[in-house]
Chains A and B, each alone.
Chain A
Amino acid sequence: MLDPLSVVLWALFGVAVGLLFSWMPGFHVYNVIALLTATGLTFTFMPSDAFPFFVLGAIVSFAYASTISTVYFSVADDTMIFMLFPTQRYLVVGRGHEAVLLTLIGAFGASLVLAASLPILPLVLPTLRDLLNPYIPLFLASLVVFMFMSEWLKVGDRVENPRLRIAVAWTQALGGIFVFLASGVLGFILMYTNFLPARVAYVRLTPMFLGFFGLPWVLLNILSDVRIGEQITEDTVATDPRALLNGLFGGVLGGYIAAFFPIITGGMGALVAGHMTSQRGDDTFIVSQGANRFVYYVGAFLFLFLPTAAITRGGAAWLVSGVYQPKTYREYVYAAGVLLLASGVSFLGTLLLSKAVARVVTRHYKTISYAVAGLLFLISWALTGFMGVVVMVVASLIGLAAAFFNTRRSYCLGGLIFPVLLSMTGYTEVFASLLGL
């Protein structure tokens, strides 16, 4: 059993690794952990029972520092896409750092809520798991149907002729279905064929996700020639306690939903919680995103530490459980401590990173966009080789289609949801034969 000092040191090491990589667009902490595991680097110098705490530190700092790439590197021109995300709008008006700070406040609040809820999780979660597990396909399918049914048809509103108006509006809805199905087929092929070699199985979905969510937005930035104004880097936010609390509550709720249910991502959890708590306002939304992201990533990983029943959720938990499975209440308490310590350090670290990036991003935005595009290709090639790059390019086209149809980017999650739903309902073979696989 590790002594408390070692736990702290390994966790802080994880925080440092997370902060070092997570602000860069395209870098996901899961991939870094996977690489460390695959290369055996971790085992040569790290005791196996320290690995969960190292990963916990890295995930906490990822939940904070990845805000940087979300806020500063995903700007798209408001003439090219119908609606900007609140963080993009903040950046465009020079308040990118404020958006980061709001996200961090949400994440920090979520870390306190998560830590406070740790005593009751061992009582509640195993029961909920036993109750809900048989119905997970129903919840997944429901969420997909709801996403399609509830999408706000943005375009066509100004067309005078009713028939033309409905036709224009429905191009978006049909475009959404196309994006979901195309993503689903791509995900299915990657999961059930040897398109990418088995040796890269642990990162085989990475190029697909880089293509869905990373590259299209960088390309849009380059194509639109967007200019980012001078950024204000004062540590102030314009909001009110009510908005903060509403955002925190919704974010934590959405995060728990996403952390608990397999396949459901933070964004989908946020959609559900946003409706349940009737969120309104950009500040509320940004705070909720920070909280949501934190609980989704960190909460899911913390479930691994549950002494009464380890619940393995998320890529990192699966990787760690293969190396070491925490079992004791002492480790659970250590994890709570690491959560708070890493959260505080990551908050300050990300704040400093944000100031540095804010100064650079305004001056060299175009160059950075090219560099990020190059980086994404490099990551894809390094992890999965040439075929991985091919997958990323195909996925990027699907991601660009989402932007072209002004539809939800989250439909690209069909790459994950569609094959899993087929598998859960027993239709994998049928679909494979339909595709001639």
Chain B
Amino acid sequence: MRGLVHFLSGLAAATFFRGLLMDVQRGCLAAVIPAACAYLPDFFDFKFWKFLEKWDYNVDPAPQDPSESKAPKLVKIAELSDDDRYRFYALKGRVLEVTDEGEKLTFLLDDGSGRMRVIALKEDREALLEALGGPPREGDEVQVSGYMDYLDGEKVFFVADAPHPMYVAERIARAIDDAYSKGEVRVKVQTIRMSGDVYRRYIIDLDGENRVVRVAMGPLVTVGGNPLEERGVPEYRRVAEARTKARFVKKYPKPTVIEAFSGPTIGFKREGDVVEEVFLPWHREWSHSFVTGVLVAVIVYILGWLAGYPNTAQLSIASLAGFWLHIVEDQLGFMGGNLFFPFTSRRIPGLGIAESGSAVMNFATAWLMISLMIANLNRFSPKPPIPLPYTTLVLLLSIPSIALYAYAVWRWLRERTKVKAEEIAAKEAMEEEEELGGA
């Protein structure tokens, strides 16, 4: 669920306590605390835990220019090492020895630190010619972006508008194999921020069945995720696959999409003879536990008591309710949480009714909380402005929420049936194919 929905849940929890509401009218805003507590699980994760984790691999396919905070970073030819293979960089230098063979443009670039052959193929050649206003001539000063690769053992620079997906695929595959031998590794996958505050989308698909890490380079997208180009990168550098030695299994049921904001961390943990993927290992662990909620409520109680606040017990219970509501709401999604940390060590998967960003579920829950707040404020008013009994008012106000929940559940059941049917159909098709092949 979105942050505000959790926050509203805590605020709604506070409105169940007359003492807290009376205090608001006296100028004491302690009722904000349960709302803050309801947001606290994500606050712990996104403001602290996320930043404190240690990465074993920092997969950055397009390092940013430090002065401009965007890719590609301008580097010297002499700086490009084997580790930089496939990464997205920019080179600037003087053009020498130009050869144009129609679909392949080649020239030598000298940037003072060294020389490197630059190759532009097909669409990349066209884009380069357009950017330079024609074919480069010997002696021209040019800046080109792309990635370093090897051709017949020689380091060459391919003109491109994105890194090669193999950079990511190889490192993820290596991390999985590492996790098998070491027990656990964490991989930070960075975003690709380009000029104009747009991002290059890429997708990581972990195909455990075939022991393949597949990475696809996508189009440029806005921060909001809207694609800015129809075709994306040329086909010859769109998809890359790397094989793993170790067996692995993907837990989160969707490919990982990296686009704007912050790139995710992916954990790989050996469980028996298999490496398991733990998506965002810093998220929804100890912070999303009912036990942590109790601890938070106790701290609220102690602080309230020390401050001499008269309604400390109410405040503490409302804070506990807010915290727990957050955990319950998150369980409606896919990822789930480690509900009983420290007694359990793994996340319990969510019901998967809808994604955490689902507009339907978010609005339904927010509306339900607002309905409860209105009903509670009405109930505790000296002269209730709405002349209806509490239960009737709650039921009336929450009709939109009930309808939206019903819709979400119906869609969930339908999707589950559909997925199951598709799975069965695919299995049947495979069996038929094997049967035919066997014949």
Contacts and interface: CB of A to CB of B under 8 A. Distances in A.
Contacts of B210: none
B35 A142 contact: yes
Contact of B36 (A145, A166, A282): A145
Given A158-B60, A272-B4, A281-B225, A166 B51 contact: yes
A142 B226 contact: no
Contacts of B198: 89
B150 interface: no
A284 interface: yes
Interface in B172-210: 190, 195-198
Interface in B43-57: 43, 46-48, 51-55
The secondary structure that dominates the A interface is helix
Nearest to B67: A79
Contact of A162 (B28, B51, B190): B51
Nearest to B223: A83
Contacts of A142: 7, 11, 32, 35
B21 interface: yes
Q: Which of B226, B357, B363, B367 has the most CB of A within 10 A?
A: B226
B35 A169 contact: no
B3 interface: yes
Given A93-B228, A158-B60, A282 B223 contact: yes
A52 B4 CA distance: 36
A107 B424 CA distance: 48
B31 A138 contact: yes
A341 interface: no
Interface stretch (B113-121, B338-346, B377-385): B377-385
B35 A157 contact: no
Contacts of A78: 69-70, 195-197
A278 to B, nearest CB: 4
B357 A157 contact: no
B362 interface: yes
B386 interface: yes
Contact of B4 (A92, A150, A173, A246): A150
A146 B4 contact: yes
A285 B260 CA distance: 15
Interface in A99-149: 127, 130-132, 134-135, 137-138, 141-142, 145-146, 149
A282 B222 contact: yes
A165 B362 contact: no
A89 B196 contact: yes
Contacts of A189: none
B2 interface: yes
Interface string A384-415: 00000000000000000000000000000000
A426 interface: yes
A272 to B, nearest CB: 6
Contacts of B190: 157-158
A153 B198 CA distance: 18
Interface in B36-78: 36, 39, 43, 46-48, 51-55, 58, 60, 64, 67-70
B24 interface: yes
Contact of B386 (A131, A138, A154): A131
B70 A79 contact: yes
A333 interface: no
A158 B63 CA distance: 9
A278 B2 contact: yes
B422 to A, nearest CB: 24
Contact of A134 (B24, B46, B262): B24
Contact of B223 (A79, A86, A137, A424): A86
A152 interface: yes
Given A131-B378, A142-B35, A145-B35, A162 B52 contact: yes
Nearest to B52: A162
Nearest to A135: B24
Contacts of B55: 160
Interface string A193-217: 0000000000000000000000000
Interface in B346-371: 357-359, 362-363, 366-367
Contacts of A280: 224-225, 357
A160 B59 CA distance: 11
Contacts of B46: 152-153
B69 A285 contact: no
A162 B54 contact: yes
A130 B5 CA distance: 25
5 contacts: A78-B69, A89-B197, A135-B24, A149-B7, A278-B2
Interface of A: 78-79, 82-84, 86, 88-89, 92-93, 127, 130-132, 134-135, 137-138, 141-142, 145-146, 149-150, 152-154, 156-158, 160, 162, 165-166, 169-170, 173, 246, 271-272, 275-285, 424-427
**Nearest 5 interchain pairs by C-beta:** A275-B4, A166-B51, A282-B224, A79-B68, A425-B27
